[in-house]
Structure 1
Amino acid sequence: MAILVGGAVGVVIGLAVAYGVVLRRRRTKVLAARRAAEAGLRSALAPAADLLAACLAAGAGPREAADAVGRSVDGTVGVQLRRVAAELRLGAEPTAAWQRFGALPGARDLARCMERAGISGAPAVEGVSRIAAGLRASAHRTAAERARRAGVLVTLPLAACFLPAFLAIGVVPVLIGLAEGLMAHN
């Protein structure tokens, strides 16, 4: 920038642009990390929901199911399920305990279903199974989308390398030959 604008003003503008680029990169990295973490949580919810449905089908209540699944699932989902089970065991209201679990990305419907089962005692197997199927389908769509995006991103460097080589080796000699032929006839 100092060369284009000149002097101290160019230096200041260049520093401001560089600072803006650094901030933009940092923000992009933070957003990418947050999206990756949310995608990981969403993909971990599907097997946890399947396990919750299996526990409920076997006759366990919401608290027992949350405890069993929380002990068998790693990561944030397991920790949150163990926390819900502990809070329910200590007498917390199901609404409050499951609401904190529902704050996880993609867990709101599952938390509501388990909360209703804890409050009313109504069977939640069908609802939890349906939610688990939806979570699996969502995880499948996300994985397919990432695979398509990776395919495109892999092709870009190939195009950047092979297109200039094709032009230099295939097209340019033909054009030179045509130009020489036209010049020879004139």
Structure 2
Amino acid sequence: MAILVGGAIGVVLGLTVACGVGRRQRRMKALAARRAAEADLRAALAPAADLLAACLAAGAGPRAAADAVGRSFDGPVGERLRRVAAELRLGAEPSATWQRFGALPGARELARCMERAGISGVPAVEGVSRVAAGLRAAAHRAAAERARRAGVLVTLPLAACFLPAFLAIGVVPVLLGLAEGLMAGG
């Protein structure tokens, strides 16, 4: 900017633009990291819901199921399930405990099913299985969308390489030949 505008105003303007670009890049990186973490969390919820449904189908209660599945998972899902099991073991209110688990992105329906089972004793196998199927379908849709996006992003460098080559090898010689013919004939 200092070269384009010149002088002290150009230096100040250049520094301002540089600071703005740096701030935007940091925000974009933070947003990408947050989206990646949320996608990983959503991907871990589907198998956790499947395991919860299997534990419930085997006759375990919501607390025992949460404890067993929580011990088999690392990361936020396992940690939250272990915390839910510990709180329920200590006599915490199932409604509040499962609502905190439901604060995880994508876990609200699963938490509602488990909360109903914990409060009323209603079997939650069908509801949890349905939620698990929905989470798996959402994970498949997200993966397909990422694959489509990657396919588009891969073509951009190819176009950037092949288009200039096509112009230089295919179009420019034809145009030069036509121009030479016109100059010789004229």
Give secondary structure in 1 for the equivalent of 2:25: helix
Q: Give the corresponding residue for 2:54.
A: 54
Give secondary structure in 2 for the equivalent of 1:60: coil
In the alignment, does 2:102 pair up with 1:112? no
Q: Which consecutive unaligned segments of at least 5 residues does structure 2 have? A: none
In the alignment, does 2:178 pair up with 1:178? yes
TM-score, normalised to structure 2, is 0.98
Please give the alpha-carbon distance, in whole angstroms, between the structure 1 residues aligned to 2:62 and 2:178: 79
In the alignment, does 2:63 pair up with 1:67? no
Please give the alpha-carbon distance, in whole angstroms, between the structure 2 residues aligned to 1:71 and 1:133: 22
User: How far is the alpha carbon of 1:72 from its aligned partner?
Assistant: 1.0
In the alignment, does 2:96 pair up with 1:92? no
Q: Give the corresponding residue for 2:150.
A: 150
Please give the alpha-carbon distance, in whole angstroms, between the structure 1 residues aligned to 2:60 and 2:145: 37
Please give the alpha-carbon distance, in whole angstroms, between the structure 2 residues aligned to 1:149 and 1:69: 33
Q: Give the corresponding residue for 1:38.
A: 38
Count of matched residue positions in the alignment of Structure 1 and Structure 2: 186
TM-score, normalised to structure 1, is 0.98
* Bigger shift: residues 70-79 or 12-21: 70-79
Please give the alpha-carbon distance, in whole angstroms, between the structure 2 residues aligned to 1:179 and 1:114: 78
Please give the alpha-carbon distance, in whole angstroms, between the structure 1 residues aligned to 2:87 and 2:109: 20
Identity of aligned residues (%): 86
Q: In the alignment, residue 20 of structure 1 is paired with which amino acid?
A: G
Cα-Cα RMSD: 0.7
Kindly report which structure 2 residues correspond to 1:135-146, keeping only aligned pairs within 5 A, or say none. 135-146=135-146
Please give the alpha-carbon distance, in whole angstroms, between the structure 1 residues aligned to 2:159 and 2:42: 34
Q: Which consecutive unaligned segments of at least 5 residues does structure 1 have? A: none
User: How far is the alpha carbon of 1:109 from its aligned partner?
Assistant: 0.8
Please give the alpha-carbon distance, in whole angstroms, between the structure 2 residues aligned to 1:128 and 1:183: 80
User: How far is the alpha carbon of 1:52 from its aligned partner?
Assistant: 0.3
